[in-house]
A = this chain, B = another copy of it.
Amino acid sequence: MKIAVVGAGLVGSAWAIVFARAGHDVAVFDAAAGGAARAATLIEARLRDLEAAGLVASAAEILPRISLAATLAEAVAGASYVQESVFETVEQKRLIFSALDAVLGPETLVGSSSSGIPASAFTEHVACRARCLIAHPVNPPYLIPVVELVPAPWTGPDVVPRVRALMEQVGQEPVALTREIEGFALNRLQGLLLAEAFRLVAEGIISVADLDRTVSAGLGLRWSFMGPFETIDLNAPGGVADYARRFRGMYETIAGARGVELGWDDGLIAEVERQRRAALPDSELAARSAWRDRRLMALMAHKKDESGKA
């Protein structure tokens, strides 16, 4: 499969590694003078780092799959998918989508790396708009696998599933939003946690260093291998509904202290419980808790090793 990477700064270069590592041919285009050549240097250095870390078998095998395209048309010709990563302003995004529209094959899908601007802000005017969506990575995507897929109102119904399948095939961990919201999901979660972190410092409750340690030596450990819902699902004998019954009062007070409605009504808790039990039946809760403890032990052994290094 051919993939085009359009915009070859830090984010675009990292995407080229993701697709080439998975065996695809990648054509890289950057409109800036010397941009693609700078990307080639960066890509080679990062692939050597990955090889040294044991994360790719051979940088030398991957590199030849990445080529530099002289024009946008050359980059996207015959491509199944375009990953766009130009500078993030509405104007730049609108310009590149106009340019893409003029040269894109009739079947090619386009994902934008936009971290905050929704696709509706820069794809409304193009003929290919039904084939465009947000595919927002965390930098660098060759190390952090999550990709947020967010459709515009006019994105075709098959586009999110098709890009999701592609992202899974190349080893990423895509998540799908059903519609555009400010900050998508990842920055919403980060933003609400950060807002509380700043408030606790503002109120003189805790230092910046201790707040960081609360996460890096506490909350963040389980969250590095399971999400917040699974964490609480395994933190009460009867799963997430049981957890909500036990701790709803505390969380209502916490949310209330910041003027927020918690909103854990019975219907919502039942819905979360339904989705969790579909993923992990009651009968497997105990085995999964034992798995969590093994993962935690392995993680702490890993951290002990790492903290011994320079």
Binding site for B on A (CB under 8 A): 49-50, 53-55, 116, 138, 140, 143-146, 148, 173, 175-179, 181-183, 185-202, 204-230, 232, 250-251, 253-255, 257-260, 262-264, 268, 271-272, 275-276, 279, 293-304, 306
Contacts and interface: CB of A to CB of B under 8 A. Distances in A.
Total identical chains: 2
Nearest to A50: B297
A58 B177 CA distance: 49
Contact of A306 (B200, B212, B225): B225
Given A198-B268, A216-B226, A276-B208, A302 B304 contact: no
Nearest to A235: B139
A255 B191 contact: yes
A164 to B, nearest CB: 10
A260 B192 CA distance: 9
A187 B224 contact: no
A118 B258 CA distance: 19
A299 B303 CA distance: 9
A212 B240 CA distance: 13
A263 B205 contact: no
Given A225-B216, A255-B192, A202 B250 contact: no
A287 to B, nearest CB: 11
A130 B192 CA distance: 36
Contacts of A189: 193, 196-197, 211, 214-215, 219
Contacts of A173: 213, 217-218
Contacts of A181: 205, 257
5 contacts: A188-B254, A189-B197, A189-B219, A199-B263, A223-B223
